A and B are shown apart, each in its own frame.
Chain A
């Protein structure tokens, strides 16, 4: 650490390097810290989380009972102990709230004044985050599984919506109408993501076990379909179409730089693809248990030298190294299935929500104080909490 700092001072190193090293260290030391709580608002499972990219201060969460909560993550109290307050709540009884489970929430990428939510009540709503009232409402024919808005788009403001209908809907926030339909899938679309690298590139994952990449400027069809066998005819001969997985594909995520695409299937596999060519990189993550019937929300860290994928697995969150496929660690804290997770890129914090109604914050562990300091202190940090002390009674000798 000191070496990094001095090298940075002298100018030997790229400033990015120190940053990478430190954030990697923090990433690997994630733990359930009792110093950070998230206020318990949800009375039912938490389905989705989203941290806004502008300030990194507010987090959205959507519950299985239609509740949407906005949390303030920033700790201005100056104390170690901090509970993330809910600054806004769309309760279940409120007039505009979703009737059924909220499947996806997302901040408008360029401003915290607006966010979008979609639900199983066949609607997608665009909310004003000040008044917590919907500014726009889109109705669909079937359950809305997912939607996504491009984080980098400057030329368009399209929201891609995956519903029970195999056709992908494109909604334009400018006009407030559904302007486009992308045809190609043969089953419901469980996950959709815009590329963080190219504002017109879109990836969709469907229950027909295919993953397609689209260019929204070309409406006639998809660019290509991901093929798990990389065009190996002998293996792929059985199927007429290229498949990404052997089951439903229900998770989709671009890596932070947009060069790679990660998919999850109900065949308990996770695959890493080259998003430019659609080539299967054949990284072996082992068995990644995936029992979700809906879309699975997993996330990828960014800005570290060792990027990691956080995947909900049952009641724990598995952390895999992105490129080596190695299981780094398992975060155990939830008491029921984990449904979603989101990574805070600035503070290297992970937030997870599960069916046990909890939103847990995984915070990097503090650096253990140096030995010399402790000696000088005299009191010792052990005496911080009497509950940590052993209580052997003397009579047992």
Chain B
């Protein structure tokens, strides 16, 4: 055996195993084979060196060594004999048969090693199993004792699999518990939800009597186009229909004329006939009739589809009771008088929009407030609960079908109710304003309303009726003089663009509703405006109801503005509790700082002399002055450090006074140069000093390069490793130099956790902590040394 060849073999094996590559270098492998082919002695030598490498605590080395072994195993009988002879150890090192010796890190490579080892052993068994007894034994051992599933690519061992099973079982148990609790919960609250649902249903029923199953249809999004009779005189019909629209008092349902015109005539005649009659009956309200001037109708026609024609918000206060009273008027006469139509045989298409609007009035206030309560109950309590149940039942698998169906049913019911309620577009606004001013509990409602508003944020284009104060600067507005939103409101509408430009497509209903109402009120031709004016005046007279009026009109807002400007100063002045100092404000206090001091502490043997009064400085001071802690307000830092960084950028840190990297923050120009001369000077001085310490040519990286090239120590470590220990850095460098291609095992250990551990558990801090603890302990002993139960421990 040639010694040179042998050395070369060892060298090759080491190079191959420490390359860190997933695949072997074929050139080197060929060389090994070539040498091994010469003699069995070389094979033995390679075997020993491979086994030595396999024993290393690094998965990459092991993987490469294993690959060499598998290459040679298929070639050399001698190698096979050797390896099979020591097959137990081989298995321990590659397949992790011994649980006390897990495969070394890195984890991914170890996993790969294991999988490939198992696969290779299977192929070996297929080829050589009959000839090498121990190989077969090892294979059976893996298969039967270690329960390695050779078809399982994951190559999980029994332990892993049992762990997996255990986990699964635990999860199942948890799910089962959850299902049980959820089922119990559902059982308990089912009744409650049911009552809530019926309550809500009846509330909705009260608000919008669902005589024709209308709301269901509208909910489904089917526009109802109704037809009656044969042909139609369009012009006449239009007029009459506009009246209907304006006058339909019972719901505020808008009937869009234009759409209806071009809609085809449709189904359910009988039903519609009845309906038509009712509609007509309802329109017979004479008072309404009077109010509507022809101009109103004209306007409506002009504005057309851009504005959905539901105008009169205020008029909806008219009640059903009134309607029924009005029905006494002879029907035919009224019909002719109203519409000018002589015959009933006109076609009338009525399109019921899905836009239903319910205005809250004093009459239905109770219902609406109940509705709000129920709504809140459902959204905050029932719906989340039901959703969580559905989730739990879905996860738990197929055996909970019954429960799941029930929960789903509940969920659907609740959701459909909420949808219905939303479609009603109940106008809470007035009520809420009223309530907030009147009672304290209104605050909650306010919050609730706020939440609703959050959901329905209007689109940014157009105008924003209310710009929050902190955003005013962003919008280029001067800061509002008062915090009250009432004042800003009248200003905002002035800025809005022409009314027809309003985006109608997707903006949420509430916003649209509000803007529409604002518009109408500002439009002098609109009936709403005059009505509003009248009402406003009326309320002014009645006094306390002023507050209930929405602060939309100019008069109202002016009033509100003036009141708020008076109270404007209030938040600036501190509110202090009443005390003695305020009581005697500006006068001398008679008995300031005097306390009665009894000389004898005895309870019943009291001396005859009177208690003397003594002057106490502390009490005196207390009664004359008071401390007011003033925390101040946080003003955010608006400046940046702006010192020039190495990469050409400016330091973006926003410290108040001093940047931890660049010192005291001074004003700088766009290039990061200090704008003041003395600062510039100071910086130049510091620069000089730094340069003196490390001359420019001592660039650390360059020095490292030179060192690597020449092998001489120029002291780059000294410059570099100021913070770190020098020896440690050196050791690391050496090991890196040795096997630069292997992944560093220590690096993976450098996690935030380990760094923290280093900090927390380092010697000095531990010592400090123990010292403090001991001190506390000893103090306890000193304090209670006379008491035996403390002295004992």
Contact = CB atoms under 8 A, between A and B. Distances in A.
A387 B132 contact: yes
Interface in B353-375: none
Interface stretch (A7-15, A136-144, A328-336): A328-336
Interface string A357-397: 11010000000000000000000000001011111110011
Contacts of A358: 137, 140-141
B671 interface: no
Given A335-B91, A335-B97, A396 B33 contact: yes
B132 A336 contact: no
B75 A32 contact: no
Given A356-B145, A392-B37, A333 B137 contact: yes
Contacts of A156: none
B789 interface: no
Interface magnitude class on chain B: 20 to 34
Interface string B20-55: 000000000010011011000000000000000000
A356 to B, nearest CB: 5
A17 interface: no
Given A390-B75, A391-B74, A333 B134 contact: yes
B30 A335 contact: no
B33 A387 contact: no
A44 to B, nearest CB: 9
Interface stretch (B123-131, B504-512, B555-563): B123-131
A33 B130 contact: no
A336 B141 contact: yes
A336 B145 contact: yes
Interface in A345-361: 355-358, 360
B131 A335 contact: no
Contact of A32 (B74, B134, B145): B134
A112 interface: no
B343 interface: no
Interface string B132-160: 11101110110011000000000000000
B107 to A, nearest CB: 25
Contact of A388 (B34, B131, B140): B131
Contacts of A387: 127-128, 130-132
B162 interface: no
B88 A335 contact: yes
Interface string B611-644: 0000000000000000000000000000000000
Contacts of B130: 34, 385, 387
A336 to B, nearest CB: 6
Contacts of B144: 40, 43, 357
A389 B131 CA distance: 11
A396 B75 CA distance: 12
B71 to A, nearest CB: 11
Most buried by B among A43, A315, A334, A335: A335
Interface string B48-85: 00000000000000000000000000111110000001
Contacts of B97: 335
A332 B87 CA distance: 9
A272 to B, nearest CB: 30
B140 A40 contact: yes
Give chain B's interface secondary structure class.
helix
Interface size band for A = 20 to 34
A43 B143 CA distance: 12
A170 B91 CA distance: 46
Given A34-B132, A40-B140, A387-B132, A396 B30 contact: yes
B88 A332 contact: yes
B77 A390 contact: yes
A356 B131 CA distance: 21
B133 A33 contact: yes
Contact of A385 (B30, B74, B131): B131
A388 B91 CA distance: 22
Interface string B97-135: 100000000000000000000000000000110111110
B36 to A, nearest CB: 8
Given A335-B138, A387-B128, A396 B88 contact: no
Given A335-B97, A387-B132, A392 B30 contact: no
For the residues of A in contact with B, the DSSP-based class is loop
Contacts of A390: 75-78
Contacts of B77: 388-390
Contact of B145 (A335, A385, A392, A396): A335
B195 to A, nearest CB: 59
A357 B140 CA distance: 10
> Which interface residue of B36, B88, B130 has the most chain A CB atoms within 10 A?
B88
A57 to B, nearest CB: 23
Contacts of A336: 141, 145
A34 B133 contact: yes
A354 B131 CA distance: 23
Nearest to A36: B133
Contact of A396 (B37, B86, B127, B132): B37
A393 B76 CA distance: 11
Contacts of A397: 34, 37
Contact of B137 (A33, A335, A385, A396): A335
A296 B606 CA distance: 94
Contacts of B134: 32, 333
Contacts of A40: 140, 144
Contacts of A393: 75
Contact of A335 (B76, B85, B141): B141
A392 B141 contact: no
A315 B33 contact: no
A355 B141 CA distance: 10
B54 to A, nearest CB: 17
A32 B136 CA distance: 12
Interface in A297-355: 315, 332-336, 355
Interface in B455-474: none
A308 B133 CA distance: 25
A389 to B, nearest CB: 6
A80 to B, nearest CB: 13
Contacts of B140: 40, 358
Contacts of B132: 34, 387
A310 to B, nearest CB: 18
B140 to A, nearest CB: 7
Contacts of A392: 33, 36-37, 75-76
B74 A332 contact: no
Contacts of A356: 137, 141, 145
A261 B537 CA distance: 124
Contacts of A396: 30, 33-34, 37
Nearest to B141: A335
Contacts of B91: 335
Contacts of B133: 32-34, 333
B117 to A, nearest CB: 15
A333 B141 CA distance: 11
A295 to B, nearest CB: 23
Interface in B160-182: none
A315 B75 CA distance: 29
Contacts of A334: 88
Nearest to B76: A390
Nearest to B31: A396
Interface string A25-44: 00000001110000010010
B126 to A, nearest CB: 11
A365 to B, nearest CB: 13
Contacts of B37: 392, 396-397
23 contacts: A32-B134, A34-B132, A332-B86, A333-B133, A335-B87, A335-B88, A335-B141, A336-B141, A356-B141, A356-B145, A358-B140, A387-B128, A389-B77, A390-B75, A390-B77, A390-B78, A391-B74, A391-B75, A392-B36, A392-B37, A393-B75, A396-B30, A397-B37
Listed from nearest, the 3 A-B pairs whose CB atoms lie closest are A387-B131, A34-B133, A335-B141
Given A335-B91, A335-B97, A392-B37, 6 more contacts: A34-B132, A336-B141, A355-B145, A385-B130, A387-B131, A391-B76
